[in-house]
Amino acid sequence: MGKVKIKWNSAAFKQILSSSGMRNIVQGRADAIARAAGEGFEADSMQGGYGGGRVIGFARSTTYQARRAEAKNKALSKAMDARG
């Protein structure tokens, strides 16, 4: 059998990874993580300035109690498998 060569379409990847549809997916995942982590966590997404402007999402603590929950119990770390 012959060797298979794949030519990646970088422009298409960039377009997909920076699309509004991808932003909705990333935001939904970040929201699910923040919800699973508990009270005092919030999620957001933004267009990154690297990787061709791809969408990035994050969940963060917004209260002292939430920061403490992450520090002592890894609330965000444990919520990474949450599905939304």
Mean local confidence (pLDDT), 44-63: 89
What's the predicted TM-score (pTM) here? Answer: 0.82
Query: Can you list the pairs that 21-27 forms with residues at least 24 positions away whose Cβ atoms lie under 8 Å?
Result: 22/54, 22/55, 23/47, 23/55, 26/55, 26/56, 26/57, 27/57
Q: Are 5 and 28 in contact, with CB atoms under 8 Å apart?
A: no
Checking if the pLDDT of 84 tops 70, the result is no
Show the tokens assigned to 28: 């939904």
Give the CA angle between residues 42, 62, 73 to the nearest 5°: 90
For 9-35, write each residue's pLDDT tens digit.
988 988 999 999 999 999 999 999 999
**What is the C-alpha R_g of the chain?**
17
Task: Quote the percentage of the chain above a pLDDT of 70.
Answer: 98
